Amino acid sequence: MDELIVKPSVSLGEEVIHLSTLDQQAQRHYAKPMFLFRYEHCGLRDPVIKHLRAGLSTALSETPDFASTIVPVPGSTRKELQLELGPGSGAPWRVVDYTDEANQSRWPHGSFDELASNYFSFARIPSEHVVPPSFLDIPDNACKLAALGIQISLIPGGFILAFCWHHTVSDARGANVLLRSWARHTKESFLHGKPNDPTLPSEDKDDRWRLNYGLNNATISEIPEYIIDPSKRCPLTQGSPHLFDRENQIAVPFEISTWYFPAPSIQALRNTLGTAATSDSSPFTPVEAICALLWKHVSRARRLAEKGHQTSLFTTRLEFRARLAPPLDGDFIGNITEPNARMRLPLEEICSPATATSLTTLASAIRQATEAVDEAAVRGYIGLINALSAVTDLTWGYYGFPGPDFGVTDLSGLDVFRTDWGSGLGSPVCMRLAYREEGLLYLFPIDSEGGMEVQVLCEPEAVERLRADEGVTKFATFRG
């Protein structure tokens, strides 16, 4: 086992990075995506480990926020956090060789090819086998946290890269900036024996301050699907510095099913919706079409209308870099995904028979929800947070699973499967998650062939109904 701290390749001085209002209000937990690579390695001494570590070190010099330590703002009474950098900053790094004779019994989950034959299902693989243990059990009274942690799990025929970052630092698009940089420098290390020199961020590159200013007199009535409740996110320990949100455990049986929409099926679905759309509307996007299809069919499979629920709220987090005036840079590191796009419809309408017209109605509602989130909505949200007693007092007020509201986490725009990590590695074969937020639907990045995997969380019996639903299976293949 190899454990150490990977420091930026360029030494850092003492520095404080001030988080924006939206960063302060972001979910306080570790996102834990996992990327699976096919690679015939030679254990801990394989050169791939050296190249990956060198690439990460250089990438952290380009995105130093991810090398930071998250701490409370001294003297703050509003549960505010900040990032601290110094000569000792870096990302905890752990490599576990499950092909080593001493560790083989700890990995009864099969080779890379065996995982692939089961579409990389992680349902029965404990998170502690692939994620650094210190990133799984966070004490309520922790006084500081690493912004990023990495575990590489070597298995026969490949490896699993767990990328654990604290959401306060950035949203997924910002984290993807680091991943792209890491891949680029790892590729250079393969080619030339070491990465290129990093392009250091300029002092005026940090635009977090732009997300501190909101509208005056903003009220919760303007976003009725949110609530102000200091108890919803607070950790269990009294007086905690609140580096981590209270976890919401799902207390009813559920199953996560994976579905694959190949590119021709996505286009066929869009064409189906297009037949019922008005002539002056632009074609629905793949995300709008898939979300409309699954909002309807998952709600029907869960029999929500029969359970006495009257409405279902569709929500999805967008990233708004291009919607601000002036726009934020596409490589902006930080959080800009709230407020969520939202649209509430009667379940009687959602659960009506699936026709091109009824699906188009849902897709149009989803488009209306996303288009409503503009600069004014973001500024109103920021203004409301700034007026509260604590930055974490504002939270979602809707009722996701096992309730009727339909939450979507959309990762489809990330270029994960088009990023080249270098000779012998190429791009990840698959992406999975070692965590689960409240919500029903995850849209994974579009693959190299234009297809998309989708994961659905619902009751086990609802999964069986979806598998028998021709309205879903004519567009998507069940993968387990």
CA distance 477 to 116: 15
pLDDT band, residue 357 (cuts 50/70/90): very high
Provide CB contacts within 8 A for 431, sequence distance 6+: 33, 34, 35, 36, 411, 416, 417, 444, 445, 453
Please tell me if the domain spanning 2-197+204-212 has the same topology as the one spanning 247-378+397-413+431-478: yes
pLDDT in tens, 72-89: 999 999 999 999 999 999
Max mean pLDDT range (103-107, 393-397, 435-439):
393-397
Q: What is the DSSP letter of 306?
A: G
Query: pLDDT value at position 247?
Result: 82
Give helix then strand counts, H and E, for the chain: 11, 20
> Cβ distance 377 to 22 under 8 Å?
no
pLDDT band, residue 445 (cuts 50/70/90): very high
Query: pLDDT value at position 71?
Result: 98
- Of 173, 145, 177, 150, which Cα lies nearest the Cα of 162? 150
pLDDT band, residue 308 (cuts 50/70/90): confident
* Better-predicted residue by pLDDT, 380 or 439: 380
Provide CB contacts within 8 A for 144, sequence distance 6+: 69, 70, 71, 243
Q: What is the DSSP letter of 203?
A: G
| Residue 158: φ, ψ to 5° | 175, -170
For the 247-378+397-413+431-478 domain, the top CATH level (class) is alpha beta
Average pLDDT, rounded, for the chain: 94
Which H or E run includes 3?
strand 2-6
Q: What is the largest CA-CA distance in the chain?
A: 65
Torsion of CA 32, 37, 43, 45, to 10 degrees: -90
pLDDT band, residue 279 (cuts 50/70/90): low
Catalytic residues: 167
pLDDT in tens, 198-225: 988 877 667 999 999 999 989 999 999 9
Cis peptide before 326 (omega within 30 of 0): yes
Q: What is the DSSP letter of 245?
A: P
pLDDT in tens, 39-82: 999 999 999 999 999 999 999 999 999 999 999 999 999 999 99
Query: Would you call 290 helix, strand, or coil by DSSP?
Result: helix
Whether the predicted pLDDT of 262 surpasses 80: yes
Does the pTM surpass 0.85? The reply is yes
Task: Count other C-beta atoms under 10 Å from residue 256's C-beta.
Answer: 16
- Of 1, 23, 12, which Cα lies nearest the Cα of 165? 23
Query: Would you call 59 helix, strand, or coil by DSSP?
Result: helix
Whether the predicted pLDDT of 246 surpasses 90: no
Please state whether 399 falls in left (phi above 0), alpha (psi between -120 and 50) or beta. Answer: beta
In this prediction, residues 7-33 reach a mean pLDDT of 96
Strand partners for 226: 396
Whether the predicted pLDDT of 410 surpasses 90: yes
CA distances from 103 to 43, 100, 130, 245 (A): 11, 5, 13, 34
Query: pLDDT value at position 105?
Result: 87
Whether the predicted pLDDT of 280 surpasses 70: no
Strand pairing class (91-97; 2-6): antiparallel
Query: pLDDT value at position 439?
Result: 67
Query: pLDDT value at position 265?
Result: 98
2-197+204-212: what fold? Chloramphenicol Acetyltransferase (3.30.559)
Query: pLDDT value at position 396?
Result: 93
| Residue 250: φ, ψ to 5° | -85, 115
Residue showing tokens 């007092």: 393
Task: Count other C-beta atoms under 10 Å from residue 116's C-beta.
Answer: 16
Residue ranges of domains in the chain: 2-197+204-212, 247-378+397-413+431-478
CA distance 260 to 87: 45
